[in-house]
Amino acid sequence: MNIDTKKLSFQLLYISSLMFAVFVATSIAADSLAISIGLIGLIMLILTKQFRFERNDLPPALFSITYFWSSVFSINPIHSLSSFHYIWHFAPYWIVSRIKNNYKTIINVLAIFIIISSIGVYFNAFFCIKPANIFSVAWSSLHFSLPNKACAPEGFSGFPSYIGAIMLVSTFFFGALGFYNKKKVYLLASLCALIATILTQERQDWLGLLVGIISIAFFVKNRKIWLIYLAGIVLVVGLAQTG
């Protein structure tokens, strides 16, 4: 039985990309599994000489080299080099960027799970209970409360700063896709991610949100965009004053 190595490698990359779409905002452990599967596909592409270095690959390649040299000159270079962080941190780019077909399916799946993850953040913020613990608590103990620092929402991920960063990027990524592709699910994902970014109460994410919204003025002139994201600015400023 002959195995089409090229086809198999792209199938592994596609499976890995789908796993990223599902788990990037819900499970860091599953993300690691996705990277492992994707790296196998990349190695197979390289061994079969199907991997092509493209112009867009230069920036992440340079960043990866920078990480590598920082490991070489670190206090404990052997430990730092053996962690392979200079490969692991950039592997998602090399995996997803090789997908040429059916990439829209991956984006659609990502949008759906960003919405689901946002709902997890909302629940965590207003009921101070992690979504993962929903089945281990009595429903009678659920009490609505306003978001506060004592109960920083972390959604399904377990880390407020991590989920905040994911939601921040998703706000602008799906916002741009929604307005240019006219797809409501992308706009909904962007709006859900915007609210989740605010609720995580991470100041660095608030700052990134403000800078991103201000930057919109240099790229688009659509008033609808300003009306939606201006509301986000008001909410951020309001929460910053009370946080």
- All structural domains of the chain with their residue ranges: 5-96, 103-242
Q: What is the pTM of this model?
A: 0.78
What's the token pair of residue 107? Answer: 């984006």
Separation of alpha carbons 9 and 105, rounded Å: 19
Q: Which of 161, 175, 162, 163 is nearest to 212 (CA)?
A: 175
| 159-165 CB contacts, 8 Å cutoff, 24+ apart | 159/28, 160/200, 160/201, 160/202, 161/200, 161/202, 161/204, 161/205, 162/28, 163/25, 163/117, 163/121, 163/196, 163/200, 164/196, 164/197, 164/200, 164/202, 164/204, 164/205, 165/202, 165/205
Q: Check residue 128 and report its DSSP letter.
A: -
Contact 25, 156 (CB under 8 A): yes
Separation of alpha carbons 182 and 174, rounded Å: 11
Separation of alpha carbons 207 and 237, rounded Å: 10
pLDDT at 142 over 70: no
pLDDT digits (tens, 9 = 90+) for 27-59: 777 888 888 999 998 888 888 888 888 888 898
pLDDT digits (tens, 9 = 90+) for 116-136: 988 888 888 777 777 666 656
pLDDT at 166 over 80: yes
Q: Which of 167, 138, 170 is nearest to 153 (CA)?
A: 167
What's the token pair of residue 16? Answer: 């890995």
CB count within 10 Å of CB 121 equals: 29
Question: Which one has a higher pLDDT value, 8 or 218?
Answer: 8
pLDDT at 189 over 90: yes
